[in-house]
């Protein structure tokens, strides 16, 4: 019989974002750091369905009162998610490891934790991109020209204005890199969280509430700093990450892909008119995917590497670079809400595993 940490790894791996095993067992070291054996045992009983402590208590063999205390402790430690309000009993659900438990420990990092995560993140990165990636890319505001068709959930400012509660938290990727003596000096308070996600972050001391105006200023600052805007991959979002190619683990993994344009969830791509290029190189540094290089005194665009963030467009003084909508057959599927995103990601992972199992069976028959 497997121990509780192996069971917890399997439980987390059953969630849409995955938590794969490794030969070194680094993922088990991480779980042992975060969960006591009793906490791991209780976390096994928490699913992606929001439930009361009483409902979970039945599965865990606990009294409702004991379950309430222990589940609230798990939530405060950033090991599960909760929604709590004065007018109804708290509800609890499992937290995926990424995006989730890892980000909830932005204030608990040390060199050992960072070292283990550096070893493990490449395995998690392979789970992050598929038919329904966890994050998507929206263009920076100044890159959107008057004739470009942009849906409300594709425009950062409109996304933000639809929210009612706003919170900003430190970027765990930049903090992680700073601990290693690396990274950049870009905006540190760069993770924007909304609604019930903002309430959870505030309860756990992970960030601070801000106003709509402050949120929009952070979006503008992110564009000035050359940061890619990555909201959660749904039309109804809970967060926007302001990411750089130096630190962001999502972008670093995406950058290793031979054709990032195929792996990213983005409806746009850059278009380039070489006749208008003045060779100023302003776009080169702004591109986080190395999609732009200089050749014969002019910029050269590799559209296979473009993720449609618009950072090059907003820096181009001559109009040589613009954003264009991808053809209909290349438009990404954007789930309506987080629940739909979970379902679609789970279905995509299940289909990928079935395909892999089928390939292994065919290989064994050869």
Which pLDDT value is given to residue 147?
84
Mean pLDDT of 45-59: 95
Q: Return the sign of the alpha-carbon dihedral for residues 234, 239, 243, 249.
A: negative
* Weakest-pLDDT range from 131-135, 186-190, 228-232, 233-237: 131-135
Determine the Cα–Cα distance for residues 199 and 197; give it in Å rounded to an integer. Answer: 5
Model confidence at 357, pLDDT cuts 50, 70, 90, reads: very low
Whether residue 366 has pLDDT greater than 60: no
User: What digits encode the pLDDT tens for the residues 289-326?
Assistant: 999 999 999 999 999 999 999 999 999 999 999 999 99
Q: Which of 319, 324, 287, 285 is nearest to 302 (CA)?
A: 287
Model confidence at 34, pLDDT cuts 50, 70, 90, reads: very high
Q: What is the pTM of this model?
A: 0.91
Mean pLDDT of 22-43: 97
Q: Which helix (H) or strand (E) holds 324?
A: strand 321-325
Determine the Cα–Cα distance for residues 212 and 32; give it in Å rounded to an integer. Answer: 39
* Weakest-pLDDT range from 8-22, 117-131, 274-288: 117-131
Report helix, strand or coil for 111.
helix
Mean pLDDT of 2-28: 94
Model confidence at 354, pLDDT cuts 50, 70, 90, reads: low
Determine the Cα–Cα distance for residues 167 and 83; give it in Å rounded to an integer. Answer: 16
User: What digits encode the pLDDT tens for the residues 243-269?
Assistant: 999 999 889 988 999 999 999 999 999
Model confidence at 2, pLDDT cuts 50, 70, 90, reads: low
Q: Does residue 323 contact residue 148 with C-beta atoms inside 8 Å?
A: yes
Q: Return the sign of the alpha-carbon dihedral for residues 93, 99, 101, 105.
A: negative
* pLDDT above 70 as % of the chain: 94
């Amino acid at each position: 019989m497997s121990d509780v940490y192996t069971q917890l790894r399997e439980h987390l791996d059953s969630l849409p974002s995955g938590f794969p095993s490794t030969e070194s067992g680094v993922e088990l070291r991480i779980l042992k750091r975060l969960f006591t054996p009793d906490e791991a045992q209780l976390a096994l009983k928490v699913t992606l369905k929001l439930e009361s402590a009483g409902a979970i208590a039945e599965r865990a063999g606990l009294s409702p009162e004991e379950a309430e205390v222990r589940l609230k402790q798990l939530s405060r430690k950033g090991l599960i998610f909760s929604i709590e309000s004065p007018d109804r009993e708290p509800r609890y659900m499992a937290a995926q490891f990424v995006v989730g438990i890892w980000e909830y420990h932005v204030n608990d990092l040390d060199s050992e934790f960072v070292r283990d995560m550096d070893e493990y993140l490449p395995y998690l990165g392979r789970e992050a991109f598929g038919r329904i990636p966890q994050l998507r890319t929206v263009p920076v505001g100044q890159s959107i020209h008057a004739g470009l068709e942009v849906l409300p959930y594709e425009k950062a400012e409109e996304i933000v204005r639809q929210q009612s509660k706003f919170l900003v938290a430190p970027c765990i990727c930049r903090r992680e890199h700073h601990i290693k003596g690396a990274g950049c000096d870009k905006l540190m308070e760069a993770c924007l969280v909304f609604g019930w996600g903002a309430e959870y972050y505030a309860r756990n001391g992970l960030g601070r509430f801000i106003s709509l105006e402050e949120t929009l200023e952070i979006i503008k600052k992110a564009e000035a700093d050359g940061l890619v805007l990555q909201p959660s991959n749904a039309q109804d979002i809970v967060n926007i990450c302001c990411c750089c190619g130096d630190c962001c683990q999502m972008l670093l993994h995406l950058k290793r892909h031979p054709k990032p344009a195929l792996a990213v969830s983005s409806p746009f791509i850059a278009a380039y008119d070489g006749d208008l290029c003045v060779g100023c190189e302003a776009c080169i540094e702004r591109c986080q995917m190395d999609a732009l290089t200089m050749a014969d005194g002019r910029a050269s665009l590799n559209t296979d590497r473009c993720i449609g963030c618009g950072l090059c467009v907003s820096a181009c003084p001559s109009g040589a670079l613009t954003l264009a909508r991808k053809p209909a057959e290349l438009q990404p599927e954007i789930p309506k809400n987080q629940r739909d995103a979970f379902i679609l990601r789970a279905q995509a992972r299940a289909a990928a595993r079935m395909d892999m199992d089928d390939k292994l069976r065919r290989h064994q028959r050869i």
